[in-house]
Chain A
């Protein structure tokens, strides 16, 4: 199976490259990053602010089912070039992680396909590795819960 989303993280480096080819025209891909209501849908977060312009800023917030805020992030936009490029910072609030710098480049591959390349730069290689490990640590919990479910079913039968 071909992997649509690619992540390149060189050992000891402080940056990563994420790339993805979409079955979408370039304008639609870019729109998904610009329209707050669309960003909310695919990011699974609430968009409090999204100023798509140079020196603009953005703010996201996610709450759980009980209404407790579980995730807050914000940043500023340094460069905004429609259908081409967004340069912005990303900061996770209430976390030990320093702000990171993100270069998002959008390009058309054909009339109906497009590509996004994200280049993320972290303060240090160590911080980058910690960030990469976050979904791993969360997944560990979920994977174990699934394992436990399977085991408890086996015990019952």
Chain B
């Protein structure tokens, strides 16, 4: 059976989601990624290979070290990554607006 490698398969596993979250913060070596997990380096390496096969990761050679980072193009395929940031502020501001509307009716000037 041939496994389909797509972004949804990549995020179907909690360890891989955790790796994506780590790499959203900074580029990391495989060793540094593995240090964040209790699983063996081989297990983490397998997850990294799957993320690579899905094109979610880009690798960069820096001397003898390989650094992985998220592939922004592919990340955009899952979602426009700014949209959740906008929604977070939108929700906050909606809350502010409704709290102050209540405040206004409780404290008429």
Q: Which residues of A contact B (CB under 8 A)?
A: 3-7, 9, 18, 20, 22-25, 28-29, 31-32, 38, 41-43, 96, 116, 130, 132-141, 144
Contact = CB atoms under 8 A, between A and B. Distances in A.
Contacts, number: 96
B17 interface: yes
Interface of B: 11-12, 17, 20-21, 24-26, 70, 75, 78-79, 81-90, 92-97, 99-101, 103-104
A141 B100 contact: no
A130 B85 contact: no
A133 B104 contact: no
B97 A7 contact: no
Given A5-B93, A43-B92, A136 B24 contact: yes
Given A4-B90, A5-B93, A140 B99 contact: no
B29 to A, nearest CB: 16
B81 A133 contact: yes
Contacts of B88: 135
Given A29-B96, A136-B79, A137-B24, 8 more contacts: A24-B104, A29-B100, A42-B93, A42-B96, A130-B25, A133-B81, A140-B20, A140-B78
